[in-house]
Amino acid sequence: MSKVPLSSAISSASAQTPADATPTSNTTGRFIVTFREGAENEAAAALSGFGLQVASSNDFTDSAVDFSALSTADALMLPEIGVAVVSAEPEHMDSMSALGEASPILSVEPERYAYALAAPAPIPTEEPAPEAPAVHALDLSASAAAYIRGYADAVDSLTRTLLNSASAAAAAAPVAQAWNESQLTWGLQATRVPASVFSGKGIKVAVLDTGFDLQHPDFVGRSITATSFVPGQTAQDGHGHGTHTAGTACGPKTPAIKPRYGVAYESLMFIGKVLNNNGSGTDGWILAGINWAVANGCPVISMSLGRAVAPGEPPPIAYETAARNALNRGCLIIAAAGNESDRAHGVIRPVGAPANCPSIMAVGAVDENFRIANFSNRTINANGGEVNLVGPGVNVYSSFPMPSRYRRLSGTSMATPHVAGIAALYAQSSPLLRGAALWLRLQATARMLAIPVVDEGRGLVQAS
């Protein structure tokens, strides 16, 4: 098998295809190499020792890697997060994997595809929805390890002790049969966003998705730093998913057309296009986006993307390493738990990757009546595969590329930016709330619902 160039876009193991092509296999033909902590230079030397041309994200301004410019590189180092994207012969990678504990190389994994996550079917509403291209229902992702638990053990014990009383209190809480969305979306109301005195002002929020509609009238005058990691495509959103998720996390306080749908309306938006206009992308693009967000000091990184995993499947080492390094730098990754379940027919799937990593906060979805969404995945796998929080994820109104302007979508993708936006509010409230501390604050202030802990984690995210 020949090497797949880093400059190629979505490609199969055997042939290069256009950047907006739909993958026909689970892997790209490239590899993700994770190196041991502090061993970046040694890892680069090891890769060079196999005859590979090595480049680094440090070669690009603000680490905004242009994959199209990497025509001569065989390996791209992402030093902020401790991984590299490598194109090499499989036998070279086998040799690299067998170097042993003395090697700077921790692991070698095949590069896989990930997808924008939206629920399988649209939710009908009485209010007419504007016409727009359909957002595809696609796969989810997986990862694992046990880092954040070190921080959470103390609160875990107390939480488990109080679960019965918390569930009883939640059961007594009123259930909303209908929401008045003339001024505010039901998701903002359910998470207490309007009552918050914070706006996310000055907090960098990275949304890694299909890009953003940079001409959307609701975002005129906003601070938006946008870059694309998809070869041959700009950061402009040709899909719609990214504009919707970014709108929930960072949308305006007073949009031209009500209701208000955005949480952190004064945040600094960092838009990383890591999925193409067809809604799919590679691990390399996503990891390069994470590296960029960390290099730019984004305390909140929102990822409504992933792939499905099997019961018992471990989390990806590369994503766990990246997320752990991000936490150590004060950057919290919040990711969608996935939409592979169909609870109405008895099908419940595990949290997908990369949300299944211990150092990534996994977000499930609830509906307007505070019930777990039919599609939302569950805590099944160990070592990070638990749902940590839930957010509003059904019939969510937010921004969408022009000319549609707005659209209602459902999915754990829609729940995730609610959590990310609220994380930005807490981050504004104190410079101490970064990384693991921000994770713990989000969980400590969540509202327990009358649904199983394996579905809701610590509960429904709440602003304060």
What's the alpha-carbon Rg for the chain, to the nearest Å? 21
Catalytic residue among 139, 209, 237, 367: 209
- Cα–Cα distance list, 208 to 116, 211, 235, 244, 287 (Å): 10, 7, 11, 12, 10
User: Is 209 in the active site?
Assistant: yes
Q: How far apart are CA 355 and CA 349, in angstroms?
A: 13
Q: Which two tokens stand for residue 113?
A: 């595809």
Beta bridge partners of 90: none
Q: Report which residue type is found at 222.
A: R
Whether residue 259 is preceded by a cis peptide bond, meaning omega within 30 degrees of 0, is yes
3-state class (DSSP) for residue 405: coil
User: Is 404 in the active site?
Assistant: no
Q: How many angstroms from the chain centroid is the CA of residue 42?
A: 30
Catalytic residue among 63, 141, 143, 413: 413
Catalytic residue among 92, 216, 241, 418: 241
Q: How far apart are CA 462 and CA 365, in angstroms?
A: 14
Q: Which two tokens stand for residue 23?
A: 């993958």
Q: Which two tokens stand for residue 124?
A: 């009908």
User: Is 241 in the active site?
Assistant: yes
Q: 191, 462 in Cβ contact below 8 A?
A: yes
> Please, how many CA atoms are within 13 Å of residue 332, restricted to the half-sphere of its CB?
29
Say what angle helices 436-444 and 149-172 make with each other, to 10 degrees. 20
Q: 147, 362 in Cβ contact below 8 A?
A: no
Closest C-alpha to 415, from 450, 447, 451, 372: 372
3-state class (DSSP) for residue 339: coil
Q: Which two tokens stand for residue 350?
A: 């595990």
- What is the residue whose two structure tokens read 């000091």? 297
DSSP track, 229-268: -STT--SB-SSSHHHHHHHHHH--SS-SSSSB--S-TTSE
Q: Report which residue type is found at 117.
A: L
Residue positions annotated with a catalytic role: 209, 241, 413
